[in-house]
Amino acid sequence: MNQAIPLAHKRAICYSGFRDGQSPDAGVFPSPAEIASDFEILQGHWDALRLYACDVHTERVLAVIREQGFAFKVMLGAYIAAEISNPNCPWGGEYPVSVLRDNKRSNQAELERAVALANEYPDIVDVVSAGNEATVDWTDHLVSPDAVTDYVAYLQRHVAQPVTFCENYVPWLGKLDALAEQVDLISIHTYPVWEYKTIDEALAYTKENYAAVAERYPDKQVIITEAGWATASNGRGIPPENVGEFYQKRYLEALHKWSSEQGVVVYVFEAFDENWKGSDHPLEPEKHWGLYRADRQPKLAAG
């Protein structure tokens, strides 16, 4: 394991700079000028960013921070693809054996890129994650907990920063006990609105999710690497009456107050709406988690 110094409380947010017409799937990435424009919006409000993959976007983000003197710290994420087919995934998680074999090779290459970037930018990257939502029952990129544990250990051998793995809170309540022993800190996701909680139930449910994991692993720092509130929904997984800008603002204000008082590190999901995500329906909830719209206009919670 790497350094045991606790991660200090900070104002943190998940950042993906893809604008309309751009996406990682299409291989069209935000330019350095577009990233710098985003950072002009975010600076002064946020201290740290969470990134999800070691790709062109992340390379440009780190270079812009260094070259233009932005003060952000970065959680660097390695995106690991499916190594196991998952028939439980509602939107398709089954793959030919050849694809799974290729994914395992590409995952190792992704980890190698994470090592290179973490070591190139030690003054900016303060945490490294070995993956995102790859062990939860519904994921379309399922990886075994044993494999993730090995990936964490690999990163710990090659980087100085603390290493984590970002996952929904549920797998941490038993499935990931061995992984919890390996990571330097535990990163959970909590989304009350995805679990049909109303705004009146939201903060209490978040605190309940956090406490359940923290009490299970009293010797580990637990942080929240995704928590947020959607501002639109077509009803797919989230009742439309439970979302909106007023609800987002109310939840995030309560979340910030609690996390500041308790010293809990929380990465808000997310900075900007991403219209490339999910289905083609304009009210698809996956598109509407940003504090800013895709055109960079602020929502109420950005104020």
pLDDT at 8: 85
Task: Report which residue type is found at 272.
Answer: F
Count Cβ atoms within 10 A of the Cβ of residue 123 and give its class: 0-12 exposed, 13-18 middle, 19 or more buried: exposed
Alpha-carbon span 118 to 175, nearest angstrom: 28
Question: For residue 297, is it within any domain?
Answer: no
Alpha-carbon span 60 to 78, nearest angstrom: 15
* Cβ-contact 53, 79 below 8 angstroms: yes
Q: What is the pLDDT of residues 191-212, one digit of tens each?
A: 999 999 999 999 999 999 999 9
User: How big is the chain, counted in residues?
Assistant: 303
Residue 4 has pLDDT above 70, yes or no: no
Distances (CA, A) of 12 to 9, 43, 148, 187, 220: 9, 11, 25, 13, 20
Question: For residue 251, is it within any domain?
Answer: no
Q: Looking at residue 164, which CATH number applies to its domain?
A: 3.20.20.80
pLDDT at 6: 80
Whether the model pTM is above 0.85: yes
Report the percent of the chain where pLDDT is more than 70. Answer: 99
Question: For residue 236, is it within any domain?
Answer: no
Question: For residue 289, is it within any domain?
Answer: no
Structural domain for 37, as ranges: 11-228+266-273
Alpha-carbon span 156 to 283, nearest angstrom: 41
Residue 28 has φ and ψ, to the nearest 5°, of: -110, 115
Question: For residue 206, is it within any domain?
Answer: yes
Residue 43 has pLDDT above 90, yes or no: yes
Q: What is the pLDDT of residues 101-158, one digit of tens each?
A: 999 999 999 999 999 999 999 999 999 999 999 999 999 999 999 999 999 999 999 9
Other Cβ atoms within 10 Å of 177 Cβ, number: 13
**First-to-last C-alpha distance (Å) of the chain:** 40
The pLDDT confidence band at residue 33, using thresholds 50, 70 and 90, is very high
Question: For residue 189, is it within any domain?
Answer: yes
Q: 169 Cβ partners below 8 Å, 6+ apart?
A: 188, 189, 190, 209, 210, 212, 213
pLDDT at 229: 98
pLDDT at 63: 98
